[in-house]
Amino acid sequence: MSLEQAITENTATMRELIEAISKSFAVFGQAPQKSGQKTAETGQVKPEPEQNTPLTESKPTEPQAPQAPSIPTEQETIRCLMELAKKERTRAVAILTQFRVSKASELKEDQRAEFMEAVNLQLKELEGK
């Protein structure tokens, strides 16, 4: 199937869906109306419908407690370590040795945040040079 055929089929399907939706509005005695169109009764522009409007009045919420920092993903730790290794490989190896792993993917989930802090500290020191 060529791209042109796929586009033609998708366009035809979309037109059929639009027609079916329009017919469903007719069943309920309403005409579909696009946002920003003038209404027949008042001649005023109908505003766009608001999404996620609450059904009841919302009460002011209490300030939330600060959330604990999220645990970095394995990919984030690897990316961070690679950034350091590109600048100075010996520092990257030293951090891996400090955490007793041979590669960042071997870090346990609870070690990742501390590992990222150590790597970021080294990166800041290198930027200060």
Q: Where are the domains of the chain?
A: 1-33, 74-128
Residues 6+ apart with CB under 8 A from 122: 84, 88, 91, 92, 95
Chain position carrying tokens 């469903």: 24
Residue 38's DSSP bridge partners are 45
Kindly tell me if the per-residue pLDDT of 119 is higher than 60: yes
Using alpha carbons only, what angle is made at residue 23 by residues 21 and 26, rounded to the nearest 5 degrees?
115
Instruction: State whether residue 17 is helix, strand or coil.
Output: helix
Higher-pLDDT residue of 96 and 53 is 96
The b-or-e profile of 81-92 (16+ CB within 10 A means b, else e) is beebbeeeeebb
What pLDDT is recorded for position 95? 92
Model confidence, pTM: 0.46
Enumerate the H helices of 28-105 as residue ranges: 74-87, 89-98
Q: What is the pLDDT of residues 94-116, one digit of tens each?
A: 999 999 999 888 999 899 999 99
What pLDDT is recorded for position 32? 56
Higher-pLDDT residue of 52 and 89 is 89
The region of weakest confidence among 30-34, 85-89, 107-111, 120-124 is: 30-34
